[in-house]
Amino acid sequence: MKIRSLFFSVIFIALFSLVAIIALFSIFVHENSKKHYDLAFEHYQVIRSILLYNNSASDDEIDRLMAQFSMVIIHDIARKNAIVQGATVMKEDKRKLVTRTLFPAPAMIFAQQELDLDVALLEYEKRIYFYLHTPFGEMIIEDASLAPFDYFLALLPLFSMVLLQVGVFTFILAKLFPLRQIAQTLARFGQGDMSVRLHISGNNEIAEVAEAFNHAVMQIEKLIENRTLFIRNVMHELKTPIAKGRILTQKLPAEQQGRMDALFIRLQSLLDDFALIDQVNSFVNIDKTKRYSYEDLLDEAIDLLMIGKEETNIEVKHDKIEKVDFTLFVIVFKNLLDNALKYGKGEKISIIIDEKGIDFVSHGAALARPLNEYMEAFVGEKVKHSFGLGLYIVKSILDKHDKHLEYWHAEGTNHFKVIDNSSTLSQN
């Protein structure tokens, strides 16, 4: 898993749990609010009792009875209208009120009357009111013993849990943040930057990993320096006798002189190839900061081979420009062009540049073995037909540029095409 995926996973879990907590608390608060107003609505029974058993009492007597239960009937019409228009209905229901009236002597009988009531529990300006609508009019009663549902107190645990969760996940992310630094440093180290170091303090396992990495980098740096010094000394010691040998060949007979001179030239070429392989495969930074046209790189490769343009047929279908190491990529084109000239059947070499890459086309028989075998050092059907270090160097350079070489044979021609790793070809 990539390091950013780890961070995204932690953040996703944090957000998911946060949403889950908020959703659960929303349900919890909603249910508690409903329960609160359901219990408040039961206070209607007090009003019902007063109205039921005191229906013949005066208004003052009703007000006095209501006051005993912290209730006040609103008589002011303007205030009643304001409450009706601005209040929030918390609960409403339809009820029936059955009143009984005792007629005095000499009748001494009860008269019973059933009234339909619309009862609503209202909240207005942080106060609770009962609204009663009867066929004879409206009545609004304030209940001072009741209070609106306190959402702040209900949500206080939610705020506490959210803050706790944010604190916990912030702590986790802070502990994981050094992993991002480690990943970035390792990526730079993998690209050949030997100056990288991890600066992570502490007494935990991550700090121990950082310390071990720094120690390993210093050891690798020393090994590379020692190897470079060794190779330079060896090459210097080999170049000196080669140079002397070429001078001495001038004193040999002409027949032997050509053979020995070719031998020393071959040895010099091998030394140059070894030096190049060491440069490519070591932790030497490759300059991929500038953009170059494939056509310009190809011209430089042709100049290095000192061949005339009449030996090649160049077709530019797309002006491909990419960020590459100029020197190394010229060597790629030079080696591929050199192989095409050496192992082709004498006809012109075709070079095609398109949006996918560059294709070197030469006439000849198909390769007898898979391409990857020819990309090993000194592999060929016979020693004299070996590709030597050419394709091995090509592969090493292309790997550094996130590219690869594809091969196919069609209609008597061999195709070697340089393309990006993200691209594939269907030719066989």
| Cβ neighbours around 161 below 10 Å, total | 16
pTM over 0.75: no
Together in a domain, 241 and 124: no
Domain termination residue (choose one: 262, 281, 300) = 281
Burial of 314 by CB count in 10 Å (0-12 exposed, 13-18 middle, 19+ buried)?
middle
Q: Considering the domain boundaries, does residue 99 fall inside one?
A: yes
Residue 195 is assigned to a structural domain of this protein: no
Same-domain check for residues 125 and 109: yes
Residue 15 CA from chain centroid, whole number: 16
Task: Provide the terminal-to-terminal Cα distance of the chain, rounded to the nearest Å.
Answer: 35
Q: Residue 372 is part of a domain; what is its CATH number?
A: 3.30.565.10
Domain match, 306 and 399 both: yes
Distance CA(38)–CA(55), nearest Å, equals: 26
pLDDT of residue 422: 73
Is residue 192 in some structural domain? no
The reply to whether 48 and 32 lie within a common domain is: no
Q: What is the per-residue pLDDT for 182?
A: 86
Whether residues 302 and 403 fall in one domain: yes
Shared domain for 34 and 67, answered yes or no, is: no
Instruction: Detail the DSSP E strand segments found in 165-239.
Output: none
Residue 200 lies in a domain: no
Distances (CA, A) of 358 to 329, 390, 414: 12, 17, 13
* 403 and 255 together in one domain: no
pLDDT at 333: 92
Phi, psi dihedrals of residue 223, rounded to the nearest 5°? -60, -40
Q: Are residues 260 and 115 in the same domain?
A: no
Backbone torsion region of residue 381, taken as left when φ is above 0, otherwise alpha when ψ lies between -120 and 50, otherwise beta = alpha
186 in a domain, yes or no? no
pLDDT of the residue at 328? 87
The last residue of one of the domains, among 231, 260, 281, is 281
The tally of domains found in the chain comes to 4
Assigned domain for 28 exists: yes
Q: Do 301 and 398 belong together in one domain?
A: yes
> Is 19 within 8 Å of 162 (Cβ atoms)?
no
69 falls within a domain? yes
**What is the model's pLDDT at position 171?**
86
> How many Å apart are CA 364 and CA 311, to the nearest integer?
16
- The amino acid at 119: V
Domain end position, chosen among 281, 309, 332: 281
Structural domain span for residue 77: 44-145
Euclidean distance between CA atoms 319 and 398, whole angstroms: 20
Domain assignment present for 368: yes
Q: In terms of domains, do 52 and 18 share one?
A: no
Which residues, 6 or more positions from 132, have their beta carbon under 8 angstroms from its beta carbon?
Answer: 47, 117, 118, 119, 138, 139, 140, 141
pLDDT of residue 405: 92
Q: Beta strand pairing status for 349-353 and 357-363?
A: antiparallel
- Does residue 382 share a domain with residue 263? no
Q: Please list the ranges in the chain whose pLDDT falls under 50.
A: 1, 102-103, 105, 107-109, 380-386, 426-428
Same domain, 34 and 101: no
In eight-state DSSP terms, residue 123 is E
Render pLDDT for 76-109 as a digit per residue (tens, 0 to 9): 889 988 988 999 999 888 766 555 554 454 544 4
User: Which residues have CB under 8 Å from 346's CB, separation 6+?
Assistant: 363
